Amino acid sequence: MHKSLVRSVVKKIVSNDRITAIKLQAESINILTMQVYMPTSEREDDEVEEFCDVNEEILEEDGKGDTNTIILGDWNSFVGEESYRNIVGPRGLGRRNHRGQMLNTFCERNGLIVTKTWFRKPKRKLYAWKTPGDRSRHQFDYIIVKLRFRNSVKEVHTLPGQILSLTTTY
């Protein structure tokens, strides 16, 4: 975090080794930024549901009202290239899997959208990881925001082997 933002920190939240968050007081609204790492596919669905429950507890306590919530990280799920109820746009990659549907359900319950799927990008800019031998490419890093603030998101980038990037306006 840039040192100029330190004075704006309202709260630091370290929930567990998979979820960390920080709440900032901005000029017009508060911003809750969460970094997440969803359990991998080797884990049981119960653990994923527990992970989502912890995220929801943070959202309920610190993401209420006019707070702009930005959740970014490795969701270990594929939301696919088919639109889903104004949550997932038509610009995803691949096919939705079971964990992707779980993510969609989480977003639906909490009024969130998967931003990356709404921007037109070349296929090479959509994936975050490719299998050894370059047989397939996968998109599982997402930036998720409240539906209410979707128009403030101007650009989303994921570069293979690098971090997620979000450009917003307020």
- What residue segments make up the domains of the chain, in order of their start? 3-168
Contacts with 108 (C-beta within 8 Å, 6 or more apart), sequence order: 85, 87
Strand boundaries in 38-140, DSSP class E? 68-74, 112-114, 129-130, 137-138
Q: Would you state the pLDDT for residue 52?
A: 87
Q: What is the mean pLDDT of each run of 10 residues along the chain (170 residues)?
A: 84 87 90 87 84 91 90 81 83 78 92 84 61 57 87 74 55
Torsion of CA 66, 7, 71, 59, to 10 degrees: -50
Predicted structure pTM score: 0.80
Q: Would you state the pLDDT for residue 21?
A: 92
3-168: CATH topology is: Deoxyribonuclease I; Chain A (3.60.10)
